[in-house]
Structure 1
Amino acid sequence: MQFDYKEFHIDASPLDEGGHYYARAKIYRRASVGGDKFEVKYSGDLGDYPSDADAIEAAERWAIPWCDANSV
């Protein structure tokens, strides 16, 4: 799942490995309106979950507070 939050773009797409879904997030800062994005933070694995929806929710729970703490 990808979405914009504040001045960031969050990619909370889980990794599917043999029936387990690993939560992870990449956070990009938008350079400007219509500008290229550049990566700011990569979470690494945030745990494995039984469904992609659970993994996405875990990644969002990590990413949103990170964005709040690092917003300008």
Structure 2
Amino acid sequence: MRFDYKEFHIDASPLDEGGHYYARAKIYRRTSAGGDFVEVKYSGDLGDYPSDADAFEAAQRWAIQWCDEHGA
């Protein structure tokens, strides 16, 4: 699932591996006004969850916290 938060674009798409859903997120920031997005942070695996919705929520929480700590 992709969404924008502050000056960031976040891809918090869970990884489905054999019935386990792994939370992970990639955070992007624009290089300049109207410029391309560049990846600035990758979470790695944040744990496995019983559903894709649970994994997305975990990744979303992690990404928002990271953006709040590292935003402009």
Give me the TM-score of the superposition, normalised by structure 1: 0.95
Q: Which runs of 5+ in 1 are unaligned?
A: none
Pair 1:25 & 2:17 matched:
no
Instruction: Tell me the residue number matched to 1:13.
Output: 13
Distance 1:32 1:59 in 2: 26
Please give the residue correspondences for 1:17-56 in structure 2 after superposition, counting only pairs within 5 Å: 17-56=17-56
Distance 1:5 1:55 in 2: 18
Tell me how many residue pairs correspond in the alignment: 72
Percentage identity across paired residues of the two chains: 83
Distance 2:49 2:29 in 1: 27
Pair 1:63 & 2:63 matched:
yes
Q: Which runs of 5+ in 2 are unaligned?
A: none
